[in-house]
Structure 1
Amino acid sequence: MTESDAPTDGVAIARDTDEQVSTAADAALRLANVDETTRNEALYAIAETLREHEADILEANAKDVAEAEAMLERGEYSEALVDRLKLDATKVESIAEMVESVAELDDPLGATQEARELDEGLELYRVAVPIGVVATVFESRPDALVQIAALALKSGNAVVLKGGSEAQESNRLLYDLIREATADFSTPDGWAQLIEAHEAVDRLLERDDEVDLVMPRGSSEFVSYIQDNTQIPVLGHTEGVCHVYVDEDADLDEAVDVAYDAKVQYPAVCNAVETLLVHEAVADSFLPPMVEQYEDAGVELRGDERVREVVDIDPATEDDWTTEYGDLELSIAVVDDVFAAIDHINTNSSKHTDSILTEDRETAETFMTGVDSASVFHNASTRFADGYRYGLGAEVGISTGKIHARGPVGLAGLTTYKYYLEGDGHLVATYAGEDAKPYTHRALDASWSPGRRSID
């Protein structure tokens, strides 16, 4: 159902949302048993359908971008949001390739994670299975809808999708194309659902009886709102207040290149650096060429007092250290040593991604074990924090929490597990009382298959 067809009163929206959630829940039970070959064929069909409808996708996206640019002129949208919204032919092709890369990943379902013999002929297996119904609420980037849907399909999960109103036309068309592409396969109808009304989100959050996981992508305030208004487990994708620390033992030429890439290569995304930290011993030699490169690229810079003793930039405020700019803006601070850098990051970061630039491996180890973030890098740009670059095929988001998944969440983050016990009339009474038989509790190098009885 599209927003133009949807009812406008809250009761009707809640009723229709309930129907969509229930349909997804029914589909999830059937999708969990769809074989890997069928799921992969459906994914390849999605990729081909996107390519065939490139012109339609760009036309729909152009409508969204035109409206967003009008909102930008009125000061209601940011430049970063508009940048994330835009698609072109190259982007459409990269989306199609992303879907194919998901199809080419190993099947996450049915894998035996652990096997143990409890006694002869009594064998316990822990096996990967889908989570069930996954709901996602995200903004701006229409390619996120395809990423999430592709990962859900590959991992056997039904998905409820809620994109931002700024990408409404793009999201509607992409959703319709995904449904069209998968209709001829054995994927259950209704495995993917699209909701649009704000009221539908509030109703969705009440459906802890059939929705198994909610994954919001947005600001910390938005994720907190979701967490505070649902009993469904929440896997939060929040802001990216990322840091690069230039150590006294850094290769300074390399450091300039990495720090530049981390900010300028694509400043609108959550893994772009927002704060640059510089060891006091290299501030005089590093900051002038670094600032020159940033300013040539149009980066608006702010620094603490120690930075401004070396280079002429605007002063930083306390709020700058916790701000995700999402644009060509950057705050810079000089720190005493690696421990001061760690303290600054753990105090101000969003626990997303942070990087140290140094040739001293002991210092790198101190930093990497001391910084409490989902991804911690050594001599690499923070922009590498991405599901595709990690080899996950794609990502549904980057979790800055610690349970149940952390960092870029790909297929593994969309699975849970069941315990399967294979026996042959075994009784608990045999292992109780004075004549109790002992358990063997022997680790097995084996994979579960239905009806398995014994291991040679």
Structure 2
Amino acid sequence: MTGQNDESPAVLIARSAKAAFEASQLIDASERVRALHEIRNELQASKDAIFAANTEDMDAAQAEVDAGRMSSALLKRLDLRKGDKWDSMLQGITDVAELPDPTGKVSYASELDDKLELYRVSCPIGVLLVIFEARPEVVANIAALAIKSGNAAILKGGKESNRTSQLISKAIQTALARTSLPETYIQSIQTRAEVSSLLSLDQYIDLVIPRGSNELVRNIQNSTRIPVMGHADGLCTVYLDESANQEKAVRVVVDSKTDYPAACNSAETLLVHEKLLTTIWPAVAQALLSASVELLCDVPTLAAIQPLSATAPNFGTHVRAAPPTAYTTEHLALTLAVKTVPSLAAAIAHINAHSSHHTDCIVTESEAAAHTFVRGVDSAGAFVNASTRFADGFRYGFGTEVGISTGRIHARGPVGLEGLVTYKYVLRSEGEKGHVASEFGSGEGKKKYKHAPIQASAVPF
């Protein structure tokens, strides 16, 4: 508990979120699904206004980039109009609505005694505080997951996306007002001061989920005693095994790096088996240079592609020796650190020592190598012959994701609905006199527990 003024804005926000969560637990799950459809409809109706706000945010952000105060990677994440980002956001809401309800599922059931039944049943976590940078579509993504999983949420976007995020939040609030869910079920805040205050309110907030830069996540982790779920970096690696197929290698490496360089599941390091230096590696390097990727190479990989200097027009500007920090840097741009390794074991050791335990890939034709890699790499995602860009809740079939967790407790990898529920134990006695624990034990006259399994998918009352 804290000594904060009970009337402070942060306390009022957190308390109302907790009250909304508690009230929502007695509302039928079908109403949460209806709320998601209402939100999608309201967002679609508000598209023009939201896009206009996004244009203003982009213009202001571009000025910050030009002044050297914002990275171009952050600018790219801000653009809601790019490609199919808007349509994917709306489709994600629909997909989440159509997913099975993650709450109320029984994962363990046992008859402890005649007419004494125990059930472990999934339930929402409570109130989520989600803090993110840029990417305004995250407001809708997280709201959808929170509502479907039965959690209330307080959302804080980056200042660079304030105009867009505010209109998306307004659309969500308008939609919620047409349902039985409390309007304060999903709330948005705007200032860092509010975040700082909320991080101390562990009596109201149950989980903090930061999405953004390493600095953001570390600051949050060091500023609260509320549990934090998230990842601090996206240092993903692709390893070209000695048995790699050239076409697969080119396709997987190029896609992992270039599909969306600013994403946390973009590859930042390429490990090349030494037997591929004069065979597959030059072809991969040529493809990367053709895609305007800057290559930061160690001595062997740099020497192996020197012949490309005569055929690749950008060789002189896009190939250079790797600095010592290359293999621990999240570039978030068309830059790839390349290193030679003598074996699969060395590749695994490098990944476990230098990666962020997000997602790592092996390109190989060897079943034994694939088997060893996916078991030896200590990451949330271990892929075989597939781009690291597949590490995404939408692509996994989760509808969308609240973030990617590189932790080892509760949720790991893309966090969808299943990562936003916990469980409670429900014990019911139908005995004529009820049940009391003192009647059970190992002594004379004591009852013994039956511990007989019960087949159940839901609590039967």
Taking structure 1 as the reference length, what is the TM-score of the superposition?
Answer: 0.94
The C-alpha deviation readout for 1:71-107, integer Å capped at 9, x for no partner, is 1101111111111110228322221111000000000
Q: CA deviation at 1:35?
A: 1.6
Q: CA deviation at 1:222?
A: 2.5
1:379 corresponding residue in structure 2: 385
Matched residue type, 2:71: S
Determine helix, strand or coil for the equivalent of 2:208: strand
8 Å CA contact retained: 1:65, 1:85: yes
Alpha carbons of 1:13 and 1:421: their partners in 2 closer, same or farther (altered >3 Å)? closer
Determine helix, strand or coil for the equivalent of 2:68: coil
Query: 2:321 aligned with 1:315, yes or no?
Result: yes
8 Å CA contact retained: 1:243, 1:355: yes
The C-alpha deviation readout for 1:34-69, integer Å capped at 9, x for no partner, is 222111111011111111221111101001000011
After TM superposition, the structure 1 = structure 2 runs for residues 206-355 of structure 1, keeping only pairs within 5 Å, are: 206-312=200-306, 313-355=319-361
1:122 corresponding residue in structure 2: 116
Structure 2 stretches of 5 or more lacking a match?
307-318
1:429 corresponding residue in structure 2: 438
8 Å CA contact retained: 1:102, 1:394: yes
- Aligned equivalents of 1:156, 1:448: Cα separation in 2: 17
Determine helix, strand or coil for the equivalent of 2:200: coil
8 Å CA contact retained: 2:209, 2:230: yes
Query: 2:357 aligned with 1:363, yes or no?
Result: no
Matched residue type, 2:424: K
Determine helix, strand or coil for the equivalent of 1:373: coil
8 Å CA contact retained: 1:50, 1:92: no
Alpha carbons of 1:220 and 1:14: their partners in 2 closer, same or farther (altered >3 Å)? farther
Q: CA deviation at 1:377?
A: 0.3
8 Å CA contact retained: 1:130, 1:414: yes
Matched residue type, 1:231: R
Aligned residue pairs total 441
2:196 corresponding residue in structure 1: 202
Determine helix, strand or coil for the equivalent of 2:15: helix
Equivalent residue for 2:448, pick from 432, 438, 444: 438
- Aligned equivalents of 1:289, 1:299: Cα separation in 2: 14
Matched residue type, 2:248: E
Q: Percent identity?
A: 45
- Aligned equivalents of 2:5, 2:457: Cα separation in 1: 48
- Aligned equivalents of 2:405, 2:163: Cα separation in 1: 27
Cα RMSD after superposing both structures: 1.5
Determine helix, strand or coil for the equivalent of 1:215: strand
8 Å CA contact retained: 1:353, 1:373: yes
Query: 2:147 aligned with 1:153, yes or no?
Result: yes
- Aligned equivalents of 1:36, 1:440: Cα separation in 2: 34
- Aligned equivalents of 1:321, 1:90: Cα separation in 2: 32
After TM superposition, the structure 1 = structure 2 runs for residues 410-429 of structure 1, keeping only pairs within 5 Å, are: 410-423=416-429, 424=431, 425-429=434-438
Determine helix, strand or coil for the equivalent of 2:226: coil
Equivalent residue for 2:28, pick from 28, 32, 35: 35
After TM superposition, the structure 1 = structure 2 runs for residues 51-66 of structure 1, keeping only pairs within 5 Å, are: 51-66=44-59
8 Å CA contact retained: 1:32, 1:157: no
The C-alpha deviation readout for 1:284-330, integer Å capped at 9, x for no partner, is 11222211211121111110111111124201112110111111111
Query: 2:8 aligned with 1:15, yes or no?
Result: yes
Q: CA deviation at 1:450?
A: 5.5
2:98 corresponding residue in structure 1: 104
Equivalent residue for 1:392, pick from 389, 398, 415: 398
2:130 corresponding residue in structure 1: 136
Q: CA deviation at 1:12?
A: 9.5
Select between 155-164 and 25-34 the one with higher mean Cα deviation: 25-34
1:75 corresponding residue in structure 2: 68
Structure 1 stretches of 5 or more lacking a match?
1-10, 452-456
The C-alpha deviation readout for 1:403-423, integer Å capped at 9, x for no partner, is 121100111111011100010
Taking structure 2 as the reference length, what is the TM-score of the superposition?
Answer: 0.93
Determine helix, strand or coil for the equivalent of 1:113: strand
Q: CA deviation at 1:13?
A: 12
8 Å CA contact retained: 2:6, 2:12: no
Determine helix, strand or coil for the equivalent of 1:23: helix
Alpha carbons of 1:438 and 1:221: their partners in 2 closer, same or farther (altered >3 Å)? same
- Aligned equivalents of 1:400, 1:221: Cα separation in 2: 16
- Aligned equivalents of 1:272, 1:213: Cα separation in 2: 27
- Aligned equivalents of 2:121, 2:277: Cα separation in 1: 53
Determine helix, strand or coil for the equivalent of 1:190: helix
Query: 2:36 aligned with 1:26, yes or no?
Result: no
Alpha carbons of 1:371 and 1:122: their partners in 2 closer, same or farther (altered >3 Å)? same
Matched residue type, 1:74: A
8 Å CA contact retained: 2:96, 2:400: yes
- Aligned equivalents of 1:93, 1:382: Cα separation in 2: 23
Q: CA deviation at 1:32?
A: 2.3
- Aligned equivalents of 2:118, 2:37: Cα separation in 1: 36
